[in-house]
Amino acid sequence: MFNTEKAYKQAKEYYKRYGIDTEKAIKLCDNVPISIHCWQGDDVGGFEKSSKDLTGGIQVTGNYIGKARTADELRADLDFAMKYIPGVKKVNLHANYQESDKFVDRDEIRPEHFKKWADWAVERNIGLDFNPTYFSHPKSDNGTLSAADDKVRDFWVKHGIACRKIGQYFHERTGKICVINHWTSDGSKEIPQDTLSPRLRLKDSYDRIFKETSDVKGVVDGIESKLFGIGLESYTTGSFEFCIGYVMNKKKDHIILTLDTGHYHPTEVVSAKLSGIFTFQKSLLLHVSRPVRWDSDHVVSFDDETKAIFEELVKMNKLKNTYVATDYFDASINRVMAWAVGLRNTRKAILAALLQPNEMLMDAEGKNDHSTRLALKEEFKSAPFGFVWDYYCEKTGAKAGLDWINDIKQYEYNVLSKR
Ligand code: RNT
Ligand code: ZN
């Protein structure tokens, strides 16, 4: 019979030889909040009282059974998924997940439309993060915060303002910082004649949103850039240069850069950008995703790049300065499983990063001993990490091995398949 405790004891000794304290690593890992994106549970649909197709150049593919049809179902699914996600959690909502009896347009949303979410979060002692939904709306076809039509732009500025106030409400209710992510899909299929004016308008819109809500407390605002979207291939108003320029220029601690792992050229990686950004910035918002050939938003994998990102953050001692959030959507598999797999992998990459022989590697590097540095790094790739991970998952009740997979399959049979 395999014994997780026994295996862990051996692993603990293995790591000790490299100067690594597994208990300390587990504790640190467990305390990193990860913000679970609510939109995996219903394919980014939301619960507004009007049906809208998903727009904004993002796409969800698949038609697997069991999608959450109401906010109550979504919360029940989140509750179930969270059992199998170890560590401190937050839930990340989009503005279109409002709850009200009648239709409330985006410029009119208020804290009361998110009261049920706040009650739910308070009961579970988890934080809530938030996102203005600058897409999937009749007024988003020709740009939102960068729209040439002043009336349209005013509408979206009002939405941004409303969202920051809701962010403060979440902070007041949960006692935890609310991280708001601003992403607009504004852009175009062909290169526009005028590429500058939309960017100047986008800048002005963000300025207005922040000025109007300068008294808002307990909120941090990420500005998310992107390379392209489907149907928006040639030009993105909120490009990387625009967003980093905006954030650096504002010099406000609450306005930070968001890096989404799927938002760069295929040979660019977020792990290589982190130290450059931290040279100038105090903190960062990370959207952990998995791009396959494009910004496909596949379920997060325990892959080289995800590991490299967290290794970088640990090495720089910037894990505590990074807001970690997931952002992916797969409708071709059990959505609760998709949550558990991607969130477990994110947490797993954090733990793996905390279990690297960083001191020995630094020491070798300090001595210009690059051969030892390489040998150590490579040798360590076969360290018994899985034994530490399983032990951590079992200890926190998130279950290890096949147990959690079977539980989620059972939930599919008992609950999801009946929808
Ligand atoms: C889109 C961005 C954005 C969205 C969510 C739903 O490419 O990554 O963060 O995925 O806001
Ligand atoms: Zn994102």
CA of 186 to the centre of ligand 2 (A): 14
Judge whether 397 lies within some domain. Answer: no
Residue 74: predicted pLDDT: 98
Residue 352: predicted pLDDT: 98
The residue to which tokens 């360290």 are assigned:
383
Q: Give the ligand whose atoms come closest to the C-alpha of residue 44.
A: 1
Judge whether 312 lies within some domain. Answer: yes
Judge whether 11 lies within some domain. Answer: no
Is there an atom of ligand 1 within 6 Å of 186 CB?
no
Judge whether 52 lies within some domain. Answer: yes
Query: Mean pLDDT throughout 302-307?
Result: 98
Q: Would you say residue 39 has pLDDT above 90?
A: yes
User: Which structural domain range is residue 169 located in?
Assistant: 32-357
- 226 catalytic? Reply is yes
- 67 catalytic? Reply is no
Residue 51: predicted pLDDT: 79
Q: What is the spatial distance between Cα 188 and Cα 194, in angstroms, rounded to a whole number? A: 11
Query: Mean pLDDT throughout 208-227?
Result: 98
* Count of the separate structural domains present in the chain: 1
Which tens digit of pLDDT belongs to each residue from 84-142? 999 999 999 999 999 999 999 999 999 999 999 999 999 999 999 999 999 999 999 99
- 16 catalytic? Reply is no
User: Residue 15 in contact with residue 95, Cβ under 8 Å?
Assistant: no
The residue to which tokens 């219903």 are assigned:
42
Q: Would you say residue 174 has pLDDT above 90?
A: yes
Q: Would you say residue 1 has pLDDT above 90?
A: no
CATH classification of the domain holding 265: 3.20.20.150
Q: Would you say residue 406 has pLDDT above 90?
A: yes
* Average of per-residue pLDDT values in the chain: 98
Residue 83: predicted pLDDT: 98
Residue 166: predicted pLDDT: 99
CA of 359 to the centre of ligand 1 (A): 37
Judge whether 5 lies within some domain. Answer: no
Judge whether 65 lies within some domain. Answer: yes
Atom number in ligand 1 closest to CA 224:
9
Judge whether 364 lies within some domain. Answer: no
- Could you say which of 43, 129, 295, 312 is catalytic? 295
User: Residue 322 in contact with residue 365, Cβ under 8 Å?
Assistant: no
Query: Mean pLDDT throughout 345-374?
Result: 98
Could you list which residues have their CB under 5 Å from ion ligand 2? Answer: 260, 287, 327
- 101 catalytic? Reply is no
pTM summary value: 0.98
Judge whether 86 lies within some domain. Answer: yes
